[in-house]
Every structure is written in structure tokens, then in C-alpha cells.
């Protein structure tokens, strides 16, 4: 499914636009009267989304506003300030021009994308630099990419590890050249962490080290990574995923800590989460935020354990925020559950970052992709409204991949179409949903 630019209709459309703007200027188009348009207003810093409010914020104070009050007394209809329409899709179809997502949301949150080494071609870099101001390495900053076994063995010390950030270097340099910030993903995780890291002599197989040695290795690893980044690339990292996916209620523990395939739990014990945050706080720069990152953060039974664990960390001053991965589909989470979740974490005083957003769909028909766009717009509507009405600190939203063909959701024989750009890097309807375009409905 590709959106075809309609350049041939340029003249006709221009005329329509001129007519529309003329009508608007004449005050004939005064009131946005449906929820979709209401949601669009969330993009405008000055706008008030509440359809029940009369937008009288400006009334207090200046003379011009007093005139408006007098007009009300004389039963003239109250005039709402004109809102900039978001007609990005229409403009794209006419001119091929896109807005910048980073620019659109620059006063609210970072807009990020996860990239792998393979994504650093010129054309992708240009697109990323024009659309995003935050970057996550899909794999290149994970422990298995960063821990250097030979250099570690060469240190000759059971309690110290060596790292090598070369795999992440293209991302780091690209980000620096383009004024893009990086979310560091991730320091402590049960997956994509080499087995030898937990073994005596850093050997494959063999005996596990003691809890004390493993705690020392954890501190060494976190210190090495943070010091490397903050010494060589100061100011680049704004958020650290300190621990990823430590809660797994199905494993049956009272504290919800993941047991299955979790060598951190096996060797250190359930307090590995707190230890990781303790070391991260010790070595992070002052303005860097520490996050716990997980999937299904809106699942109510999982939330129970997440909240308990995070509250304990908060009491000790060790955590700043929760990373909601948000690998979703078209119906789950329900939008009310999503809103409830954000409100809940907001009430806890947490900063929230959407760290791995994608929306699973195998339907690449026009209709299917319009549904996807609606879903993106619905999610954005909730996020924007939570920021504006509830003071939610949602500071970053990252797409887990740039284009559909690079998504982790693709299965052999079953392609997935979950992102904002197609395989040829054309924007999809979902892009315009994310941009809160007026032409995308949130109902589907």
C-alpha cells in the first residue's frame, strides 16, 4: 500500500484551499465539533482541548479580551481562536513534503527511532535526521554487543570487565553529527547477555561465580559503559534503560521477579534489580534519567508487581521513570486501559517514556493501513491529552524501527506492517496518524 502523491491535481486543490481559507477568514468555520478534531488541538501548545471550555484563558487581563467579554454580553457568539489545521497528508500528496515529527513535538517530548547497524545508509540517515531527535540502538548497546571477552580475560581479574563500543559507533557518530540524543538500551537484561559473563574465568560453560563476584562484575560493567559514554560523548545519553524485563508474574514469585532463563536472578538473587539501579545512580551524570523498561506495562496483573518494585526503588531515590515498550496490536491495550496506565504511573511521580512503539498488523491493504493510522492517532491522542490535562511527564516516544521491512515482527512468509514508513521509506497513513493529521479518524 503506497500513498500516491496527486501532483496533477495541484491547481484544483490550491483553489480549494484558497476557498477554504477564505471561508475560515470570514469566520464561517468557527467551531470544531467532534472528538477527532478536539484531539488534534492537543498539538497546539496554546490550545485548550476541553470542548466544554470556552477558551477564555486570554480573557483575563488585557483590553482586547474585555472587548470579547462585551461582545458576549451583546449575545454575539463566542469566537474561538483559529487552530492551525493539520493537513499534512494533503500537503504531502500535493507537494511530496513532510513535516518533521521531531519538530512537531519538540516542546513536548523526544521522537525517537530504533536503528540497527544495517540502517546507516545515506538515505535512511537523511530521513532519520529530518524526522527524529532521539535514537535507540536496536542491538548495538546491549550487553552481548558491548562486553569484550578477550579484553576482559586479558585484565586477569575475576571482578572486572572490559567493554568495546565499536558496534555502536556509527549510531553514536551519526547522532552527534545531527544533534540527536540517545536512549541507552540496555544495561541489565536476562536476554542478549553472554553466558560467559556469569562464569568463573569468563569461560563458556563451567562453574558460575559467587553472588559477590557477580555483583562486582555488574558494578564494573555499568561503570565502564557509563564512564565511556559520559567521557567520550558527554551530553549524548539522556536516558538509561538500567534494567529490562525483570518482572514475569507467570514465574510464580511473590515479588514477580523473573526466574526463567534469568542468570542475574540465578547468580545474584532478586535484588539484582536494586543493585543495578544503585550502581547506575552512582555513575550516571546528574541530568541523565534512569529507567526500568518492560513490555505489557498496561497489563493489570503485571502492573501490580511493577508498581511494587518501582515504589521500592523510588523510596531509595534510585529510579526516575518507566519505559513502556508498547509493542501493541490494533486492539490491545484498549485505549481506556492505556490512559489508565499512564495516569497510574503519573500519579506515582514517574517520568514515562514510550520506548519501543510498534503496532502489529499483517494487513497491508488500504483499509488495514488506515486502521493502523487510526490506532496511532488514538494512542497519540491519549498521550497528548495526558500531558496537557494530567501533567503526565511523557518525555520520549520511540518507534521500534524505521520501516516495515526492518521490523522484528516480520515472520518468514508472514510480513508485518507495523511502522510509519514502508520498505521504500515512503510515509504511510500511520505516519500521518502519528502526526495527528486532521484527515485521520481515531475511530475504526
Residues near ligand GLA, by CB under 6 A? 185, 244, 295, 325, 356, 408
For the chain, give the longest Cα–Cα distance. Answer: 87
* β pairing state of 327-329 and 321-324: unpaired
Which positions are annotated as active-site residues? 245, 356
Q: Smallest gap, in angstroms, from Cβ of residue 356 to ligand GLA?
A: 5
Nearer to ligand GLA, 162 or 328 (CB): 328
Q: Smallest gap, in angstroms, from Cβ of residue 191 to ligand GLA?
A: 7
Question: Cis before residue 159, ω within 30 degrees of 0?
Answer: no
Number of H helices, E strands in the chain: 16, 9
Q: Smallest gap, in angstroms, from Cβ of residue 428 to ligand GLA?
A: 20
Closest CA to 356 of 59, 112, 85: 112
Q: Smallest gap, in angstroms, from Cβ of residue 423 to ligand GLA?
A: 18
Closest residue to ligand GLA: CB criterion: 408
Q: Smallest gap, in angstroms, from Cβ of residue 358 to ligand GLA?
A: 9
Q: Which helix (H) or strand (E) holds 149?
A: helix 149-155
Residue 216's CB is within 10 A of a number of other CB atoms, namely: 17
The span from the CA of 271 to the CA of 435, in Å, is 41
Q: Give residues with Cβ within 8 angstroms of 327, minimum separation 6.
A: 295, 356, 357, 358, 360, 400
Nearer to ligand GLA, 291 or 295 (CB): 295
**DSSP-assigned beta bridge partners for residue 244:** 189, 293
Closest CA to 120 of 149, 148, 140: 140
The span from the CA of 407 to the CA of 402, in Å, is 8
For 198-212, give one letter per residue: b (16+ CB within 10 A) or e.
bbeebeeeeeebeee
* β pairing state of 321-324 and 134-137: unpaired
Q: Smallest gap, in angstroms, from Cβ of residue 185 to ligand GLA?
A: 6
Nearer to ligand GLA, 181 or 185 (CB): 185
Nearer to ligand GLA, 357 or 436 (CB): 357
**DSSP-assigned beta bridge partners for residue 185:** 241
Closest CA to 101 of 407, 424, 376: 376
What are phi and psi for residue 291, nearest 5 degrees? -120, 145
Q: Smallest gap, in angstroms, from Cβ of residue 97 to ligand GLA?
A: 32
Amino acid at each position: 500500500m503506497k500513498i500516491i502523491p496527486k501532483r496533477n491535481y495541484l491547481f484544483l486543490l490550491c483553489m480549494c484551499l484558497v476557498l477554504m481559507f477564505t471561508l475560515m477568514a470570514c469566520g464561517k468555520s468557527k467551531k470544531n465539533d467532534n472528538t477527532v478534531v478536539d484531539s488534534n488541538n492537543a498539538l497546539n501548545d496554546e490550545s485548550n482541548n476541553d470542548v466544554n471550555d470556552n477558551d477564555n484563558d486570554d480573557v483575563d487581563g488585557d483590553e482586547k479580551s474585555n472587548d470579547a467579554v462585551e461582545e458576549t454580553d451583546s449575545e454575539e457568539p463566542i469566537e474561538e481562536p483559529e487552530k492551525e489545521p493539520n493537513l499534512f497528508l494533503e500537503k504531502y500528496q500535493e507537494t511530496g513534503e513532510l513535516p518533521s515529527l521531531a519538530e512537531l513535538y519538540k516542546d513536548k517530548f523526544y521522537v525517537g527511532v530504533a536503528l540497527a547497524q544495517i540502517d546507516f545508509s545515506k538515505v535512511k540517515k537523511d530521513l532519520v535526521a529530518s524526522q527524529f531527535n532521539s535514537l535507540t540502538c536496536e542491538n548495538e548497546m546491549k550487553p552481548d554487543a558491548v562486553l569484550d571477552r578477550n579484553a576482559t580475560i586479558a585484565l586477569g581479574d575475576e571482578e572486572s570487565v572490559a567493554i568495546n563500543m565499536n558496534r555502536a559507533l556509527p549510531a553514536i557518530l551519526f547522532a552527534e553529527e545531527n544533534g540527536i540524543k540517545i536512549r541507552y538500551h540496555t544495561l541489565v537484561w536476562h536476554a542478549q547477555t553472554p553466558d560467559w559473563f556469569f562464569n568463573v574465568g569468563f569461560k563458556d560453560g563451567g562453574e558460575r561465580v559467587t553472588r559477590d563476584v557477580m555483583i562486582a562484575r555488574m558494578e564494573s560493567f555499568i561503570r565502564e559503559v557509563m564512564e565511556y559514554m559520559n567521557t567520550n560523548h558527554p551530553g549524548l545519553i539522556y536516558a538509561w534503560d538500567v534494567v529490562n524485563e525483570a518482572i514475569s508474574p507467570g514465574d510464580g514469585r511473590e515479588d514477580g521477579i523473573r526466574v526463567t532463563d534469568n542468570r542475574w536472578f540465578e547468580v545474584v538473587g532478586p535484588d539484582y534489580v536494586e543493585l543495578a539501579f544503585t550502581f547506575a545512580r552512582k555513575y550516571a551524570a546528574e541530568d541523565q534519567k534512569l529507567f526500568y523498561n518492560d513490555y505489557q506495562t498496561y497489563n493489570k496483573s503485571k502492573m501490580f508487581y511493577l508498581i511494587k518494585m518501582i515504589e521500592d526503588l523510588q523510596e531509595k531515590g534510585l529510579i526516575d521513570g518507566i519505559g513502556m515498550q508498547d509493542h501493541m496490536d490494533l486492539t490491545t491495550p484498549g485505549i481506556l486501559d492505556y490512559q489508565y496506565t499512564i495516569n497510574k504511573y503519573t500519579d506515582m511521580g514517574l517520568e514515562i517514556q514510550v520506548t519501543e512503539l510498534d503496532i502489529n498488523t499483517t494487513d497491508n491493504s488500504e483499509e488495514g493501513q488506515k486502521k493502523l493510522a487510526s490506532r496511532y492517532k488514538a494512542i497519540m491522542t491519549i498521550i497528548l491529552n495526558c500531558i496537557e490535562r494530567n501533567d503526565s511527564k511523557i518525555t520520549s516516544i520511540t518507534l521500534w524501527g524505521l520501516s516495515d521491512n526492518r521490523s522484528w515482527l516480520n515472520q518468514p512468509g508472514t510480513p508485518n506492517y507495523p511502522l510509519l514508513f514502508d520498505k521504500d521509506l515512503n510515509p504511510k497513513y500511520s505516519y500521518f496518524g502519528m502526526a495527528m493529521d486532521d484527515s485521520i479518524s481515531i475511530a475504526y
